[in-house]
Structure 1
Amino acid sequence: MSIPAPFRNAVSQSLFAGVVVYQPFNMPCIEGADISFLEQLSDRLYGDFGPFDPDQMSVATAILAGASQLSFDPEGRVMLPAELKEFAGIDGQATFVGIGRKFQIWAPDAYKLHREEQMTLAAQKAPTLPAFGGGPQK
């Protein structure tokens, strides 16, 4: 899969020239980020829960244990692990979706349905979110 240039440029400052991908436990896609995002997640899991907390262990196992570090080739591509492509139903084309500090890779039809669902939820939830900049809501 070719990783879009803006994301490659953003992660080029990282110590690892590539991305880390993993199977999210709540959506049928592949999620990924630069190595620092996963390191921060790991630090938070251990800091917030402690190393022997069962909640920490479940999230660490679900995300961190199955994560794969993928190096960029000279054209900015990575080879997605077969088990992740199978999990996400990706066979051929894929949709790359940037979502802030991380990204998702979807089977195109699955993403179309997911996006429609998310737009409906966003329309319902957006009015209840805190105002940007910490000011009062309108």
Structure 2
Amino acid sequence: MSRFLSNATNRIDAKGRVSVPAPFRAVLAQRNVQELYCLQDFVFPAVSVGGPDLLERYERQIASADPFSPEANAMSLLVHGGGVYMRLDAEGRLMVTGFIRDFTGITTDVTFVGRSDHFQLWQPQAFHEAQAAARDGRTRFAVRPQ
């Protein structure tokens, strides 16, 4: 099964478009994804991008809760109110809209980060800081050779 792995940073062009890395485009093609669902991440200053299965996963979670509960209401607010549909252009570029820029702080460059079944768009420095913090958190509990 194909997965989104690794990370790459690409520059936004003068028209506000950025080329999606070829390995990520290959996964989208293999999965026959035509329309992208983009969602503001719940934890990180990043936008998650995937196919219809990404939205369906969140909607299954919402449907499993009481539809009148505060949890289902809050989740719907995040999933539906913090999400948009987008498409790649014929050259495999994504428009870096205000929806993306405002939430992530992206200005001139975009770091694409593989997250297995989807990928994320990050401001490069924010990604490096979050990755370093995650690594530091993991190494604090690692057993060190004596």
For Structure 1 versus Structure 2, the TM-score category normalised by the shorter chain is 0.7 to 0.9
Which structure ranks higher in relative contact order (CA pairs < 8 Å, sequence separation ≥ 6)?
Answer: 2
**1:6 lines up with 2:23 in the alignment:** yes
2:86 pairs with one of 49, 53, 70:
70
| Contact residue 30 and residue 85 of structure 1 kept, 8 A | no
Question: 1:108-132 deviations in whole A, cap 9, x for unaligned?
Answer: 11111111001112334678xxxxx
Structure with the bigger percentage of strand? 2
Q: How far is 1:2 from its partner?
A: 1.8
Q: Which runs of 5+ in 2 are unaligned?
A: 1-17
Residues 112, 64 of structure 1: CA spacing in aligned structure 2 closer, same or farther, 3 A cutoff?
same
What is the root-mean-square deviation in Å for CA atoms of aligned residues? 2.1
5+ residue gaps, structure 1, are 128-138
Residue 92 of structure 1 aligns with which residue?
108
The answer to whether structure 1 residue 45 and structure 2 residue 62 are counterparts is yes
Q: Give the aligned residue type for 1:32.
A: V
Q: Which has more helix, going by share of residues?
A: 1
For residues 76-114 of structure 1, the C-alpha deviation after alignment (integer angstroms, 9 at most, x for no partner) is: 111132132122110011111001112111111111111
Q: Does 1:30 align with 2:66?
A: no
8 Å contact from structure 1 (residues 22, 84) kept in 2 = no
Counterpart residue identity of residue 5, structure 1? A
Partner secondary structure for residue 12 of structure 1? helix
CA shift, 1:14, in A, is: 5.0
Report what 2:128 is aligned to.
112
Q: Distance in 2 between matches of 1:57 and 1:9?
A: 35
**Cα contact 1:22–1:32 (8 A) shared by 2:** yes
Structure 1 segments (4+ residues) deviating >6 Å:
none
The DSSP-based 3-state class of the residue aligned with 1:78 is: strand
Q: How many residues align?
A: 126
Is the deviation greater in 99-108 or in 2-11? 2-11
The within-5 A match list for 1:50-61 is 50-61=66-77
Q: When the two structures are superposed, what TM-score results if normalisation uses the length of structure 2?
A: 0.75
Q: Which amino acid aligns with 1:99?
A: R
CA distance in structure 1 between the partners assigned to 2:61 and 2:141 by the alignment:
26
Q: Which residue does the alignment assign to 1:19?
A: 36
